[in-house]
């Protein structure tokens, strides 16, 4: 039903969605060979814990603090390394959202529909597009 609401077409032939236990922080996984989307029951059911955005926020702030420290110390090499670390985590904070169960499904659906497209700007745009379509369909 989610697939049809987002894409307006039948579910892809041969594909299935299955729940699995913990996947070490990965909420979902697309297995092309098995034509299966795996969803992490353990991660979805966990109510208390650190979410990915919280992790990236903590890393971003830690990187900023260390970059600032090494800038004050005059260590250009370490300053640049920590500034780069902070910038990468800031980018992760701005990537596709939300990452709840529906967001994870749409993320994995994007893999199914766009075989070979790697994570990046275009991938994130398609995930946001899918989320917006689902939201419009649900609110209509």
Give one DSSP letter per residue of 64-87, joined into a string.
HHHHHHHHHHT-HHHHHHHHHHHH
Does residue 87 sit in the same domain as residue 109?
Answer: no
Specify the pTM. Answer: 0.64
All residues at 6 or more sequence positions from 32 whose CB lies less than 8 Å from its CB, including other chains: 111, 115
Q: Do 110 and 81 fall within a single domain?
A: no
Question: CATH number of the domain that 132 lies in?
Answer: 3.30.2010.10
Q: In terms of domains, do 78 and 109 share one?
A: no
**Same domain for 62 and 44:** no
Q: What is the pLDDT of residues 94-113, one digit of tens each?
A: 665 556 778 888 999 999 99
* pLDDT for position 25: 66
Tell me: pLDDT of 54 over 80: no
Give residue 69's domain range. 52-93
- Same structural domain for residues 44 and 13? yes
Judgement on whether residues 45 and 104 belong to the same structural domain of the protein: yes
Cβ-Cβ contacts under 8 Å for 110 (sequence gap 6 or more): 117, 123, 126, 127, 130
Residue 21 shares a structural domain with residue 11: yes
41, 61: one domain: no
Calpha distance 107→55 (Å, rounded): 19
How many CA atoms lie less than 13 Å away from 110 in the CB half-sphere?
24
What is the tally of structural domains in the chain? 2
**46 and 109 housed in the same domain:** yes
Whether 40 and 8 share a structural domain: yes
pLDDT 10s digits, 21-53 = 877 667 888 999 999 999 987 766 555 455 566
Residue 40 has a CB neighbour count (10 Å cut-off) of: 21
Residue 46 and residue 6 in one domain:
yes
């Amino acid at each position: 039903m989610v697939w049809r609401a987002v894409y307006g077409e039948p579910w892809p032939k041969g594909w299935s969605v299955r729940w699995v236990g913990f996947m070490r922080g990965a909420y979902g996984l697309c297995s092309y060979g098995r034509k299966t989307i795996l969803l992490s029951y353990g991660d979805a059911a966990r109510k208390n814990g650190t979410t990915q955005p919280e992790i990236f926020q903590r890393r971003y702030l830690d990187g900023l603090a260390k970059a600032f420290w090494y800038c004050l110390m005059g260590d250009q090499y370490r300053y640049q390394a920590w500034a780069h670390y902070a910038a990468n985590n800031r980018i992760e904070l701005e990537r596709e959202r939300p990452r709840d169960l529906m967001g994870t499904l749409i993320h994995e659906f994007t893999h199914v529909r766009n075989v070979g497209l790697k994570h990046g700007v275009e991938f994130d745009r398609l995930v946001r597009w899918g989320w917006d379509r689902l939201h419009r369909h649900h609110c209509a």
